[in-house]
Every structure is written in C-alpha cells, then in structure tokens.
Amino acid sequence: MTILSCIHLFSRRKQVWSMTALKNSRAYLYVNALSELGVRMDVIAMGALILVATDGSALWLSGMLLSGVLGGFLSSLISGVVADRFERRKIMIFADIARAALISTLIFAPDPWLILLVRFAIGLCSSFFEVSFRAELPEIYGKERALAINALVSRLSSIAMVIGFLGGGFLYQKFGYQAVFAFDAISYLLSAAFLYRVQWNKVESKPLGAKVLSLRRDFRDVAAYLKLHPVLFTVFFVYVIDTFGSASHNLGIPLLAEMVDAERQAFYYGLFWSVWGAGNVVSSFLIPKLSFFRKNLALTYLYSTFGLSFGFILFLSSTTVPLILLFAFLTGIFDAISVTSKATLLQQSDNEIRGRIMGVSGFLNRTGFGIGFLVAPHVLAATSLSVMVMIFHGAIILSLFAGLGNLRMKGGKQSISL
C-alpha cells in the first residue's frame, strides 16, 4: 500500500469516526433522558420513604428536598470554574459514576438520615454534571441551533418526567424502593458508558496549580461579563425569586397527593408530576416554531414564568383531581418555555466563560431553593397549603413586574442575539 493510499484510508476512517461521533452525540441526549427518568423515579421513592418513616412529617420532607439543594449550592460556583478549566465530558462521566454509587447505597439501608446524606452528595455531583452539560451543548451542536436543541432536551426531559413519575409510583407500589434505586443507578452507568465512547472538541489542559490559582480571577471575569450584559442581571434577579417560590410547590405536591389519598400517595404524587410533564412535552414542540421566542428570550422567560406561577397557585388550591390535572398540564406548558428560554439565553455567552455563567445560574438556583425550603415549612405550619403557595408564587409575580420595569427602562427588549 502506497503512502498516498494510507493517507486516504486514514482520512476516510477519520471522517467515518467523526460522523459516528456526531450521531452518538445526538443519541446521548436520549441516554441522558433515561438518566433523568431514573432521577424522577427516585424522588418518588425517597419522598414516600421519608413520609412513611416520619409519620408524614412536612419538616422531614422539606429536609430531604433541601439536602439535595444544599449539596448543589455548595458546589455550584466551583462547578462553573471547573467546567471552564477541565474537559467537560470527563466531568460528566465522573459525576455519573459517583451518582450511581451513591444511590446504590440506599438499596441496602434506606434510613431517613442516610437518605438526606445521599441526597446531599448527589446534589454535589449533579451540579458538576448539569453545569458541564449545559455549557457544552452549544459546542457540540452550534449556537445557531441552541434553541432547537434546548427544546429537544426539554421535551426528552419532560417525557422522562411523565414516565419516571408514573413508573416510580408503580415500581414503588409493586416492587419496592429497591427496584427504583437500582434502575436509577443503572441509568447513571449507561450515561457514563455512552459519554466514554463519544468524544468531541477537546479542551486545552492547563497545570492543576494554574487552574487553582486562577479562581479569584475567574470570579472577577464573571462579574465583569455580567456588567456588560444587564439583561442577564435582570434574568438572574428574577431567577432567584423564581427558585425561592418553587420550593413551595415542590414541598406542596407530595403533601397534596397525601391529602387526596394517603393510601396511594406515591401514585398520585407521580400522576400529578407526570401530567405536568405532559404539558412540558406539548410546549417543547411549539418553542422552536415561534419566532417571538428566538427574538425576545428575556421577555419570553419573564412572561412564561408569570404563567407558571399563576398556574401553580391554581394547581395547589384544589383537592379535586380533574382540576388538579388540568392546572398541572397548563403549568407544565409554561414551565418548558421558561426553562428553555433561560437556558438558551445563557448559552449565548462566550464559550470561555460559559461554564462560569452556568455556575452562577446554578448557584442562584440552589440559593433560592435553599431559602425557600427553610421558610416553607414554617409558613405552612402557620397557614395552609394553598395560602403558602399563594405567598411564595405571589413573590415571584412581584419580581416579574420589577424585572419587566427594569428591562423597559434599559431598552431591554433585546436579548443576546442568536
């Protein structure tokens, strides 16, 4: 074989490998959705185990939800820095393997305190995974396709939510918590295996010492970048209040399910979230087709978040199952628009700083959730479930008016262009 033919053969193999890698990269979105399915299932199982072990304690349930948020909170800012300094694919692989090992421990010892500890550790790992995953999507598929890809991610996540919450309730009732946690562990390992096989753009590695020494400069860079993009400040401000208010319905939905039927709490808990996820699925098909979303990402986020909050107020103000399901579905429609528009807006930032921008978003997410989960049980003890949700989501609606006023003053109809 001649040298020229060897070069030609190598080029063809490289081209075939690149096409295969691209196909596998897209296929990974479906594998990741399977992992999301497992996550939804274990939320059902953990919530049911906590309520059974603590005689229906809202404080323990809030603690279970808060522990995962706290883990993500502690790692959210550093996870953004790590995502910009290391190869994001490898970060995701390590996070998946760690989460599989952690959730497996609950198969053998589902003690409430251990559930809290595992949720905390999984929260740590999930922050690293989520920030790297969101920051890397534009590099794999291109910024010009960010909205369409985010809509697909939202759709797959929502389908996983529908199946996961229904499947989690069914598996828990029929086969016990062990089957739920085993499924989740396997889904993490499948995700890690797929990522191991697929490779895209490599990140130029720097010595570890240089990466650690650059942390302070990294945070200064993020602050300077955000000052140049006031729309991001507005979105981040609303996002903190948004996540604070969201603690009320995350705590309230399992309690609402228990009020509807204490004997079948896990089933109704899964059913309510599944119908909400179905609304997400329907919405995700519409998002890429409406030009208003692409041209007005910040306003789209604010308007859809208003619909989301108003929907949750109606959702948790009734114990009539058909009405609950109707409002859950409508709320899910607004949620997909809200999440997709915000993610797309953040992904338009420069690749060199995108991981840290995602880290700030994760930090704000956990901050709002954490404060919300600390406050919500006390508000619930003093009022009722529906009043608590009105107070929390009313705060979101007020922040939206403030955000809209700020954008109007600054001419903020323009978002970061696609």
Q: What is the pLDDT of residue 218?
A: 59
Question: Which secondary-structure segment (H or E) carries 243?
Answer: helix 230-260
Tens of pLDDT, residues 214-252: 555 656 676 777 777 778 778 878 888 888 888 888 888
Q: What is the pLDDT of residue 211?
A: 46
Q: What is the pLDDT of residue 10?
A: 36
Whether 286 shows a pLDDT value over 50: the answer reads: yes
Q: What is the pLDDT of residue 13?
A: 42
Q: Where are the domains of the chain?
A: 28-409
Whether 282 shows a pLDDT value over 60: the answer reads: yes
Q: What is the pLDDT of residue 34?
A: 76
Whether 206 shows a pLDDT value over 60: the answer reads: no
Whether 405 shows a pLDDT value over 50: the answer reads: yes
User: 80 near 29, Cβ under 8 Å?
Assistant: no
Six-digit token string for 262: 């204490």
Q: Which of 146-160, 306-320, 401-415 has the highest mean pLDDT?
A: 306-320
Q: How confident is the model at residue 392 (pLDDT cuts 50, 70, 90)?
A: very high
Q: What is the pLDDT of residue 136?
A: 76
Buried-exposed string 235-253: b where 16+ CB fall within 10 A, e elsewhere:
bbebbbbbbbbbbbbbbbb
Q: What is the pLDDT of residue 418?
A: 37
Cα pseudo-dihedral 365, 55, 252, 276, rounded to 10: 90
173 or 384, higher pLDDT:
384
Give the residue-averaged pLDDT of 159-168. 74
Q: How confident is the model at residue 5 (pLDDT cuts 50, 70, 90)?
A: very low
CATH class entry, domain 28-409: mainly alpha
Tens of pLDDT, residues 356-387: 777 777 777 777 877 887 888 889 888 888 89
Q: What is the pLDDT of residue 212?
A: 45
Q: What is the pLDDT of residue 97?
A: 92
Whether 390 shows a pLDDT value over 90: the answer reads: yes
- Calculate what percentage of the chain has a pLDDT beyond 70: 83
194 or 398, higher pLDDT:
398
Question: Which secondary-structure segment (H or E) carries 115?
Answer: helix 112-141
Whether 310 shows a pLDDT value over 90: the answer reads: yes
User: 89 near 139, Cβ under 8 Å?
Assistant: no
User: 246 near 376, Cβ under 8 Å?
Assistant: no
Tell me, rounded to whole angstroms, the distance of Cα 370 from its chain centroid. Answer: 15
Who's near 335: CB < 8 A, 6+ residues apart? 276, 279, 280, 283, 304, 308
Nearest to 380 by CA among 251, 223, 238: 251
Q: What is the pLDDT of residue 331?
A: 92
SS3 string, 293-331, reads HHHCHHHHHHHHHHHHHHHHHHHCCCCCHHHHHHHHHHH
Whether 2 shows a pLDDT value over 50: the answer reads: no
Whether 291 shows a pLDDT value over 60: the answer reads: yes
Whether 77 shows a pLDDT value over 80: the answer reads: no
Q: What is the pLDDT of residue 16?
A: 38
User: 355 near 83, Cβ under 8 Å?
Assistant: yes
Whether 194 shows a pLDDT value over 60: the answer reads: yes
Tens of pLDDT, residues 84-142: 777 888 888 898 899 999 989 988 888 888 888 988 998 888 888 888 887 777 777 76
